[in-house]
Amino acid sequence: MTTAVTTDETKLAWYQGLDRYCWVVLIIAALGWLFDTMDQNLYNLVRAPSLTDLLRSQYPGDPKALADAVKEKGGIITSIFLIGWSVGGFIFGVLGDRIGRTGTMILTILIYAVFTGLSGAPFVQSWEMYGFMRFMTAVGVGGEWAAGAALVAEVFPNRSRPMALGLLQALSAVGNMMASVITLLISNAEGGLEGNWRIAYFVGAVPALLVLWIRRSVREPEQWHHAKSVGQELGNIGELFTHPVLRRNTIAAMLMATAGVGALWGVGFFSTDLVRTELQSGGMDKAVVGQQVSIMFLLQNLGAFFGMYLFAMHTERTSRKTAFYTWFALAWASVLIFFWNVGGSGADAFNRARVLAPLMGFCTLGPLSGFTVYFPELFPTRLRTTGCGFCYNAARILAAAAPWALGSLAPYFVSQGGAGALGGGLPMAGTVVICIYILGFIGTAMGPETKGKPLPE
């Protein structure tokens, strides 16, 4: 799809002179990804209350053992989620090239919406069943991103593509904030989040209705039809490793995504657990704790919105690689600042977190905008969703060790006492896990500079 332009393209802002259909595609893709991230982060916000509810009967009269089990199982289920995310990314990345971007979006949205709703079903009474539902949710989550990013990349003209993709990713923060609002409202109900966490997941099933609009309004991009009509082999995942240029691009993107995803899901999104632990240790009422954690997470993602949009802008004003180097360094520092300042603060945790959380969100989610801008530029049309899906989701398998490591190391550092006991051991454990950003610097050094170049065909 091309755009109608009324004047010299070099004089237009990225959002000017675009065909109406471009905006329809961007809105639909953004909603798909926005609801996707909402469903992801409902779990982050109800992780501790839901697991406390599910595990309480196994630890009667032993609150410390229960708290340790919640951290451990929370890390395991988060790792399971990342693995499911990867499985979905592999499967639907290939399908996105073979059956098309639009059909893949429909399938993935249905999967993540239905299994989000089932995560709160009454028959989910064990952490193992809970983990299975989160795994299946993640299968849909993992496939939706590559299809949506490829669709927007192929519909928008070259001059508008980076900022359109940056806006697509930035709007995912709105989904995160919606998750915060949902849990905030539920925490005000009688019983708080611990008694009503299942309701949050029922709300997360609503995005399934979006598929009706997609079926009616979105068609496959002309580039995909052209690749199919000329007899190119679509979605051959092996080509990512047999072609020397594609192999280099694939490895670079995997390392960058492993750093961004591992740091965010292995440490950054455990901000909710850290703040909750500190407020509870300060003797705060559970209902108030739930409210303040939701507000903190909303602020974290408000910062993320601006970080992701400005990352895309930075890639246009400097270069793709400069932006990644800058944001990986900022993200590393912001996580350490947040966890070590909030850890050990007790009842004052919310006051500190509401200042530091937007900064951490701005820095840690910025690189994810970069993946949406950069990865489609690394692969030709016949392999675009295959390559994007493989790199992002192979990274999730590698990154799945990060939340497991955090959940396992935190109780260990508590047992060692001293500074390691701050924040239930999360600051010290986070300091170890956040070193995963080293992989991001290596991947950035390996990758090509793509600024100003058309999408490869």
CA distance 67 to 8: 62
- Residue 4 maps to a domain: no
- Residue 290 maps to a domain: yes
267 vs 206, 389, 423, CA distance in Å?
29, 23, 13
Q: pLDDT in tens for each of the 457 residues of the chain? A: 444 444 456 678 888 888 999 999 999 988 888 888 888 888 888 888 999 999 998 988 888 899 889 988 988 998 898 888 888 888 888 888 888 888 888 898 899 899 999 999 999 999 999 999 999 998 988 788 788 888 898 899 988 999 999 999 898 889 888 988 898 888 877 777 888 899 999 988 888 888 878 878 888 888 777 777 766 677 788 899 999 999 999 999 999 999 998 999 888 888 988 999 899 988 888 788 888 998 998 999 999 999 999 999 999 999 999 999 999 999 999 999 999 999 989 999 999 999 999 999 999 999 999 998 999 999 998 888 888 888 887 887 888 788 888 888 888 888 887 777 787 888 898 899 999 999 999 999 999 999 988 888 7
60: which 2 tokens? Answer: 């009667």
Contact 323, 316 (CB under 8 A): no
- Residue 1 maps to a domain: no
Q: What is the number of domains present in the chain?
A: 1
- Residue 177 maps to a domain: yes
Residue 311: which CATH number?
1.20.1250.20
Contact 48, 272 (CB under 8 A): yes
- Residue 335 maps to a domain: yes
CA distance 233 to 201: 40
Has this prediction a pTM greater than 0.85?
no
Question: Could you write out the DSSP letters of every residue in 28-93?
Answer: HHHHHHHHHHHHHHHHHHHHHHHHHHHHGGGSTT-HHHHHHHHHHHHHHHHHHHHHHHHHHHHHHH
| C-beta atoms surrounding 334 within 10 Å | 25
103 vs 94, 215, 350, 351, CA distance in Å?
12, 8, 43, 46
Contact 120, 82 (CB under 8 A): no
Domain that holds residue 47: 17-446
CA distance 282 to 335: 22
- Residue 263 maps to a domain: yes
